[in-house]
Chains A and B, each alone.
Chain A
């Protein structure tokens, strides 16, 4: 009795579902795309990674067979190791170099836009072109080694692409050359977003410039760093074309990367199951990094 009278007297709130209806309608296609193509495709891939599919996807269950084979394959282990080395170094160097360049650029120098253009220019090239250019530059017969030798230092040796133990660094050089400009631009935008008054206050307090950067400016640039991290890290995990153009995975299998393993086994070896298993492992690797971070990041924001 009482409950019905209560509900009738309480003013009716408009349903949450119909708020901003037009905006919700407009985002339906994107939601569908995300669900069907991204999520659906991912689930499909994971499911088929447990089958023995060869050229065509077939639901013949093979359990964990593909994964067992994957982790017993020397080439895959080399790929993972390369990705780790390449990924960690690439993150560190592109952040450090990119930030230092941006900080230098922020000193109100002359011709700033000219420098900015020059540093950003390599980013306009695709990885394939970058890879080819650096393949020639690092070729002992045409490139840097030859130039230095012609200048008189005849014992100079610099042929990273032909040395198994250091070939991954040859690829790192090319990727830094290509990608650092973008990091610099993002950082520069972040620096420009810092209020002039903070710099003035720091100067009044007599804080040295490097300390201001390290303890005041960088913590304030957190969102920029996170954006940059996402962009750079996703580029690292899917690195493929650079390796194909520069070394095709050689010498031997010394510069193989996971994405290339996935492609080669899916299409050249006509073994979809194996390729799917490898790409599922790649997804898991990314998830292991991203999920705890996202939890911390968004979990904290809610509490504030």
Chain B
């Protein structure tokens, strides 16, 4: 996902197959540089090379926050790449409005994207004024609580099955010097944890009222106050997790030094790499274990800047079509740890947690748009500033934080 820090910039060097005689080189930029991510990208590269073209890997180390400015300045500066990753949502909105992105409507109609891509909202994100400008490739969701079975066994309490039990078990963990909740220092992590609590504990309606309708009264109201109360609990539980990166925080859970972490499904890749098994070594609670969990559909999409070179433009269409082929979707998403955007493919045997996620996604009522899709990058950044401070600074009370939150929502777009 967008957040992986570039530990493995080297891993970005994808192995290329031999290029055929009339290959068109197409540079593709993305920020997938960790081990699992690079392996997933290699699946795209392999499939694209098999079409007779050549994938030139333009991995940008660092998180999306580092990579996106580089991508945008290349496109606006007149040096566009062949294709580039963005998250589902509004990150490339203005680039499309300026006419810098290629219109994929014809291809989409020909290949019936509207029928195969699920949930439909993903294609809506790519659609501006009736035209389709991007190809969604995967679905990630934020709303998971990952628990270390070892930590709870050590503390002598049962592994919680929902958020309330988790909060109740926390003092026992503290007694054993275990941090109940691991939260990394980067702003987006605290924000994601809050948004997850808002969606699950506050309910879908409140979430949509605040982020979709930008209703500042709801954001400042008593229902949201409860969520701030829960976030206040969470920051107390998180005290002592002196790490920055999300995977370091996940590692605290893996090693049993922390009880749990609220983090997106990409965290599962870390558990897999560490050789842990879902159910026995770690547990997952989609939607924080509430009775009616909702998942938001974040993830990534590829955009294709307008190019002058005709051969390259043709290759862009081939790439877009390749990325959405059923077999490529399965191979890519298996390595990425995300879910395919096509509802008509068989993902094969998956573990407990992924199965739970798939079951929730199958119910249209349990799926909402992610905050990246609903709010602008500007609003997201302001929220990040607020929540990173809220989690680090205990003298900022829940009431004051809520007041500031309501102000952000009132000017949000």
A54 contacts partner chain B, Cβ-Cβ < 8 Å? yes
Q: Are B377 and A270 in contact (CB under 8 A)?
A: yes
Which residues of A have CB within 8 Å of B381?
Answer: 264-265, 268-269, 271
Query: How many A residues have CB within 8 A of the partner chain?
Result: 25
Which residues of B have CB within 8 Å of A203?
Answer: none
Q: Which one, A56, A73, A254, contacts B393 given CB within 8 A? A: A254
A63 contacts partner chain B, Cβ-Cβ < 8 Å? no
Q: Are A270 and B91 in contact (CB under 8 A)?
A: yes
Q: Are B392 and A54 in contact (CB under 8 A)?
A: no
Q: Are B69 and A268 in contact (CB under 8 A)?
A: yes
Segment touching B, from A17-25, A144-152, A245-253, A285-293: A245-253
State which residues 229-254 of A face B: CB under 8 Å.
248, 250-254
With known contacts A74-B404, A267-B69, A268-B69, A253–B385 Cβ distance under 8 A: yes
Q: Are B378 and A164 in contact (CB under 8 A)?
A: no
With known contacts A69-B411, A267-B69, A54–B404 Cβ distance under 8 A: no
Q: Are B385 and A268 in contact (CB under 8 A)?
A: no
Q: Which one, A56, A74, A140, A268, contacts B98 given CB within 8 A? A: A56
Q: Report the bound CA distance from A164 to B391 in whole Å.
A: 12
A69 smallest CB distance to B (angstroms) = 7
B402 smallest CB distance to A (angstroms) = 14
A100 contacts partner chain B, Cβ-Cβ < 8 Å? no
Q: Are B389 and A252 in contact (CB under 8 A)?
A: yes
Which residues of A have CB within 8 Å of B93?
Answer: 55
Q: Which one, A140, A253, A264, A274, contacts B389 given CB within 8 A? A: A253
Q: Are A56 and B388 in contact (CB under 8 A)?
A: no
Q: Report the bound CA distance from A56 to B93 in whole Å.
A: 11
A116 contacts partner chain B, Cβ-Cβ < 8 Å? no
Which residues of B have CB within 8 Å of A56?
Answer: 76, 94-95, 98
Q: Are A250 and B378 in contact (CB under 8 A)?
A: no
Q: Report the bound CA distance from A74 to B98 in whole Å.
A: 33
Q: Name A's interface SS.
A: loop
Q: Are A268 and B68 in contact (CB under 8 A)?
A: yes
B313 contacts partner chain A, Cβ-Cβ < 8 Å? no
A65 smallest CB distance to B (angstroms) = 10
B72 contacts partner chain A, Cβ-Cβ < 8 Å? yes
Q: Report the bound CA distance from A252 to B381 in whole Å.
A: 13
Which residue of chain B is the closest to A140 with respect to CB atoms?
B242
Q: Which one, A54, A252, A269, A271, contacts B388 given CB within 8 A? A: A252
Interface-central residue, A75, A162, A254, A268, by most chain B CB under 10 Å? A268
Q: Are B244 and A248 in contact (CB under 8 A)?
A: yes
B412 smallest CB distance to A (angstroms) = 12
Which residues of B have CB within 8 Å of A251?
Answer: 185, 392-393
Interface-central residue, A55, A74, A140, A271, by most chain B CB under 10 Å? A55
State which residues 286-344 of B face A: CB under 8 Å.
none
A50 smallest CB distance to B (angstroms) = 17
Which residues of B have CB within 8 Å of A73?
Answer: 382, 385
Q: Report the bound CA distance from A250 to B390 in whole Å.
A: 12
With known contacts A268-B68, A270-B376, A250–B185 Cβ distance under 8 A: yes
Query: How many B residues have CB within 8 A of the partner chain?
Result: 29
Which residues of A have CB within 8 Å of B186?
Answer: 248
Q: Which one, A54, A140, A248, contacts B378 given CB within 8 A? A: A54
B380 contacts partner chain A, Cβ-Cβ < 8 Å? yes
Which residues of A have CB within 8 Å of B78?
Answer: none
Which residue of chain B is the closest to A167 with respect to CB atoms?
B392
Q: Are A271 and B185 in contact (CB under 8 A)?
A: no
Q: Are A274 and B378 in contact (CB under 8 A)?
A: yes
State which residues 363-413 of B face A: CB under 8 Å.
376-378, 380-382, 385, 388-393, 404, 411
Q: Are A271 and B404 in contact (CB under 8 A)?
A: no
Q: Are A269 and B393 in contact (CB under 8 A)?
A: no
State which residues 212-249 of B face A: CB under 8 Å.
242, 244
Q: Report the bound CA distance from A266 to B393 in whole Å.
A: 26
B130 contacts partner chain A, Cβ-Cβ < 8 Å? no
Which residues of A have CB within 8 Å of B275?
Answer: none
Q: Report the bound CA distance from A254 to B389 in whole Å.
A: 8
A173 smallest CB distance to B (angstroms) = 19
State which residues 88-107 of B face A: CB under 8 Å.
91, 93-95, 98
State which residues 169-213 of A face B: CB under 8 Å.
none
Q: Report the bound CA distance from A254 to B390 in whole Å.
A: 11
State which residues 44-75 of A face B: CB under 8 Å.
54-56, 69, 73-75
Q: Which one, A55, A164, A252, A271, contacts B95 given CB within 8 A? A: A55
Q: Are B376 and A75 in contact (CB under 8 A)?
A: no
Which residues of B have CB within 8 Å of A252?
Answer: 388-393
B348 contacts partner chain A, Cβ-Cβ < 8 Å? no
Which residues of B have CB within 8 Å of A55?
Answer: 72, 93-95, 377
Q: Report the bound CA distance from A78 to B346 in whole Å.
A: 52
Q: Are B411 and A75 in contact (CB under 8 A)?
A: no
Q: Which one, A69, A248, A254, A268, contacts B377 given CB within 8 A? A: A268
Interface-central residue, A73, A162, A251, A264, by most chain B CB under 10 Å? A251
Q: Report the bound CA distance from A28 to B388 in whole Å.
A: 50
Q: Report the bound CA distance from A47 to B390 in whole Å.
A: 34
Which residues of A have CB within 8 Å of B376?
Answer: 54, 270
Which residue of chain B is the closest to A265 with respect to CB atoms?
B381
Q: Which one, A250, A267, A269, A270, contacts B382 given CB within 8 A? A: A269
Q: Report the bound CA distance from A164 to B393 in whole Å.
A: 7
Which residue of chain B is the closest to A56 with respect to CB atoms?
B94
Per-residue CB proximity of B43-72 to A under 8 Å, as 1/0? 000000000000000000000010011001
Which residues of A have CB within 8 Å of B411?
Answer: 69
Which residue of chain B is the closest to A159 with respect to CB atoms?
B242
B172 smallest CB distance to A (angstroms) = 25
List the 9 closest A-B pairs by CB distance, nearest first.
A252-B392, A269-B381, A267-B69, A55-B94, A251-B392, A252-B389, A270-B377, A271-B378, A269-B378
Query: 25 pairs across A/B with beta carbons < 8 Å?
Result: A54-B378, A55-B72, A56-B98, A69-B411, A73-B382, A164-B393, A248-B185, A251-B185, A251-B392, A252-B388, A252-B389, A252-B390, A253-B392, A265-B381, A267-B69, A267-B72, A268-B381, A269-B380, A269-B382, A270-B91, A270-B94, A270-B377, A270-B378, A271-B377, A274-B378
Known A-B contacts: A73-B385, A252-B389. Give 5 more (CB < 8 A): A54-B378, A55-B72, A251-B393, A253-B388, A253-B389
Q: Which B residues contact A (CB, under 8 angstroms)?
A: 65, 68-69, 72, 76, 91, 93-95, 98, 185-186, 242, 244, 376-378, 380-382, 385, 388-393, 404, 411
